[in-house]
A and B are shown apart, each in its own frame.
Chain A
Amino acid sequence: MSVSVTAGALPPAVALEGIDKSFGPVHANKHIDLAVQPGTIHGIIGENGAGKSTLMNILYGFYQADSGRILVDGRERVIQSPEDAIAAGIGMVHQHFMLVEPFTVLENILLGAEGGWTLQAGAAKAREALLRLERDYSLEVDIDARIADLPVGIQQRVEILKALFRGAHVLILDEPTGVLTPQEADHLFRILESLKEQGRTVIVITHKLREIMAVTDNVSVMRGGEMVAHRPTAETTTEELAELMVGRKVLLRVEKAPARPQAPVLEVEHLEVVDEVGVRRVKDVSFEVRAGEIVGIAGVAGNGQSELLEALSGIRKATSGRVLLHGQPILDAADARAKKLGHVPEDRLRMGLVRGFQAYENAILGYHLLPAYTEHGFLKKRGIIGHCLDWMKNYDVRPVAPLLQGTSFSGGNQQKLVLAREMEHDPDLLLVGQPTRGVDIGAIEFIHKRLIAMRDAGKAILLVSVELDEILSLADRIIVMFDGTITGELSGAEADARRIGMLMAGIREEAAA
């Protein structure tokens, strides 16, 4: 596919031609063409594993393409390392920030651009330059603060400053809003706008359609390692983009009937959790979850949701307070399971699965002592594989191969396998953490439908997610957590992103009013 450039116009700030990249048997980028016009914000959208990050990491010199050319401002550049990319005026803000936590902001920015073999002179000069950049782009940061003490939103600004300090004219941002509150995301978009006004070029990689529509001028869609479409943002719709991403029509909004909550299944009273280092992670949290409803816990990652979930599932001891399931206390994780609590943990690779286990083994993990699977201390392998096959078919786990290792499945399929395990053992209460993290749109749709079906079957579901859209579309009641406390509770009907966003930032409604 060739990209037309109007006669007389500037050459593209970045042009990729025929980029091809394989990792072993995985063909991550198939002959990709892309042209990004200078002074625009260009979105690259696609599902997880579509090859967006690989493509951008090639442009940033982190990986080398097997074939293809990179042109910057119309001139071909050989980019074999981040050093080359920086020299070509390309900067990148990675999804996981590339910051050294015990360092100050200044030290992080200096790293690799020290300006001399001792630090003193370079540091003084950098200080001046940074103050100027902060003013020009409203990137307020205390440059002597330690990174570890800064919230993620500010850490991201440090990353942007770092790139600008190195003279980046093209800034790549990989999933920049994943860790931000809606307000922080809005601030980020304003920063991107001001970069654009100053003539810089921004490339944003994301899987969130809303962001693409809000902030970009042009959008390119990737699917399965290929570039499938280029569109001016003004001429497309979220529906079209979603269809291009997935390759078929998708329902963005989950269809669901109003909830019919019944008796409480889970009661949490004044729960406190203090972690190993002595930090109070959960502070005096009380709520209940009733049969037949989905309660969503919203919040920016790291505000106590993980610890709450671990305490509820019996993995972590609560410091004080009570957790009652059907009116009875939960002793530990095994007891929780015996009392019909299912748990889909947040980090499926660390807690949901054993990486080296085959699918059928992973499919009964934690339930392996049930007589259905074990006889006289031996696993009934044949029977287990049979169950596993059924579940894989019902939950659309692909490939349907019970003997395949856990890590050989894609993220979405791993998640569906964990979900199948926990749902098929018929829990009365299901705790679900980040059910669609790293899961593609098609699988998200499936998982959401399953959760709704389970609710309608009269089960209680507690959903913890940092994806606000997910909470908004699934939850019947929404609890917002900030810094270990509950800052507010809204019914699904009255909730909107703005109100939740305020609560996620710790601003309680009565205080705001």
Chain B
Amino acid sequence: MNYQAIKRQLPALLIGIVVGVGMFLLGQNSIPLDKPNEAEIGFAQDMSVHHQQAIEMSFLVREKTDDQEIRGFAFDIINTQANQRGMMLGWLDLWQQPLSTTKTPMMWMMDDMSSMDHSQMTKDFTSGAYMPGMATSDEMQTLVEASGTDAEQLFLELMIRHHKGGVMMADGVIKRSENETVTRLAQTMVNGQQAEIDYMNELLTNY
């Protein structure tokens, strides 16, 4: 091969390489793999813990009542929140971030927390740290010991507060994220949990 000829064609070769590699990288760079920010990571970690408690409360109430409406509603929460947990844990896995963290929860929206209504702030019963709307270990124990309509009513009261906290957290990440995948799921949580709060308030009028 002629060295001079290669040298003359070098620009064309370089352009080809640059364009080819550029397109390759563009293809690689799909949204979920974008470098996440602190809020997105914190939200995924904290909200999956938050969802887990809603699932646990729902399993508990299903064992304690024969009321078909409450049982059906709890069944819906279990499936939806378990799957959403999986979606958020999947992001963390793709981002190569810890699925469980020992960090203090809610640090990612701390600047909002100071102005937050403190009646919403309860101890996270697993870590002993604060997260909005979570039931305390005492409240969970009361639910474990309750039965029948008492259990139904307590479940509704705890879940309303839990959902209010969830809406707050989802709103928090929407303000802090540009990632469509994250904000779309968070927005469905805001709308969905608000609709469920209204529904539960209506159910509560039966007691």
Q: Do A and B come from one complex?
A: no
> Contact residues of A with B, CB < 8 Å?
none
